[in-house]
């Protein structure tokens, strides 16, 4: 008699309780610093599979402080809910001329988020992100959302600083950027160890996102710096230039994924 296991991901047990990630829906809410960028397009085919599209030269780097939940239980045991990540988004033009976003690089500090991301086609790796929080009080340590407030963010990967950003709020209304402004395509590809000489065939999907809510976005002036790294390939995007920035809060629910 076959035993039914309830695990959505490993570890696979009958109860499924210890699975790294339960099945969707996955609910996310977080504080985001968004830095719009322009980038070099000469290495497009090294970053984006030619069958998917080509770089347009636009993009965004998001620094995010998230909490996520399934049925609410993670919110009262927040070690399972909270994580921070740095997300590199590039705009691509599809063969049919339509514009989408694509995520070539992303780093996170929680295994649950890493697996959720890989299932959605977001190529998550471990990295350490820190970003200034804005708190709802008028105090020098609170980085209040008003003209002149200064904020910063850093990403460290394998104990090497990779990205650093600084923002100064302008007091003007901001706008959404990156994955907050357009759909983002994910690339799914799992290797088969019975055929170790072959790279996986890639499939393109779109996360099925519902219940998207945001706060007002607050405009900022930004600088961004990418440092050399022996492994990470963000340098394929060339020298990044800032084209705008904003900060605010967002919430989304992922209920699954759709084929592109």
pLDDT band at 1 (very low <50, low <70, confident <90, very high): very low
pLDDT band at 3 (very low <50, low <70, confident <90, very high): low
Structure tokens at 37: 């960028």
Residues 54-77: tens digit of each pLDDT: 999 999 999 999 999 999 999 999
Residues 5-32: tens digit of each pLDDT: 899 999 999 999 999 999 999 999 999 9
Report how far residue 147's alpha carbon sits from residue 218's, in angstroms, rounded to the nearest whole number. 10
The whole-model pTM stands at 0.96
Q: What angle do CA 92, 242, 260 make, to 5 degrees?
A: 20
Q: For the chain, what is the mean pLDDT?
A: 96
């Amino acid at each position: 008699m076959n035993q039914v296991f309830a695990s959505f991901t490993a570890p696979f047990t009958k109860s499924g309780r210890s699975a790294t990630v339960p099945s969707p829906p996955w609910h996310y809410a977080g504080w985001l610093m968004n830095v719009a960028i322009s980038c070099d397009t000469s290495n497009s085919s090294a970053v984006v599979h030619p069958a998917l599209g080509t770089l347009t030269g636009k993009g965004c780097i998001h620094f995010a402080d998230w909490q996520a939940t399934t049925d609410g239980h993670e919110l009262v045991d927040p070690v399972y809910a909270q994580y921070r990540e740095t997300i590199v988004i590039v705009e691509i033009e599809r063969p049919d001329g339509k514009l989408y976003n694509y995520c070539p690089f992303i780093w996170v500090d929680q295994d649950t988020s890493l697996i959720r991301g890989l299932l959605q086609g977001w190529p998550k790796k471990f990295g350490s992100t820190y970003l200034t929080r804005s708190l709802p009080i008028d105090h020098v340590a609170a980085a209040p959302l008003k003209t002149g407030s200064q904020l910063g963010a850093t990403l460290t990967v394998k104990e090497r600083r990779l990205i650093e950003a600084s923002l100064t709020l302008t007091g003007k209304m901001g706008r959404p950027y990156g994955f907050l402004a357009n759909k983002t395509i994910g690339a799914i590809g799992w290797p088969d160890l019975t055929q170790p000489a072959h790279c996986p065939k890639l499939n393109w999907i779109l996360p099925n996102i519902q219940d998207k809510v945001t706060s007002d976005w607050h405009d900022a002036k930004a600088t961004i710096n990418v440092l050399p790294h022996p492994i990470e390939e963000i340098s394929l995007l060339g020298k990044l230039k800032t084209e705008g920035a904003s900060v605010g809060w967002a919430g989304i629910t992922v209920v699954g994924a759709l084929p592109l």
